[in-house]
């Protein structure tokens, strides 16, 4: 997966996905996506985690976007001023 972070006051991130790669997000973040991406809505982490998200003001449901073909693109944009930063997270 490759990504580009762009914009300063209201940033966005465009991800370039290969077939089978997935990303998940809360509702409201999707700006646009190319053909070849499948969207599925679920309660990531089960009912307990979903209720925890709901009580903290987040969305009960999460959306998972999966590329069906190589080179698919999806963009998520910020709804308020701030920064989008890349964090390196190890497996485990």
Neighbours of 37 (CB within 10 A): 20
Under the banding of pLDDT at 50, 70 and 90, the label for residue 46 is low
The sign of the torsion formed by the CA atoms of 34, 66, 44, 42 equals: positive
Q: What percent of the chain has pLDDT over 90?
A: 48
Domains and their CATH numbers in the chain: 2-77 (3.60.160.10)
What value does the mean pLDDT of the chain take? 85
Mean of pLDDT values over 8-30: 90
Token pair recorded at residue 35: 């053909």
**Measured distance CA(17)–CA(35) in Å, rounded:** 12
Q: What is the pLDDT of residue 60?
A: 64
| Full-model pTM | 0.76
């Amino acid at each position: 997966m490759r990504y580009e972070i762009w914009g300063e006051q209201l940033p966005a991130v465009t991800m370039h996905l290969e077939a089978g790669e997935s990303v998940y997000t809360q509702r409201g973040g999707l700006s646009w996506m190319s053909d070849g991406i499948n969207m599925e809505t679920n309660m990531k982490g089960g009912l307990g985690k979903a209720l925890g998200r709901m009580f903290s003001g987040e969305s009960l449901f999460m959306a998972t976007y999966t590329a069906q073909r190589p080179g698919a693109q999806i963009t998520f944009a910020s709804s308020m001023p701030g920064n989008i930063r890349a964090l390196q997270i190890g497996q485990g």
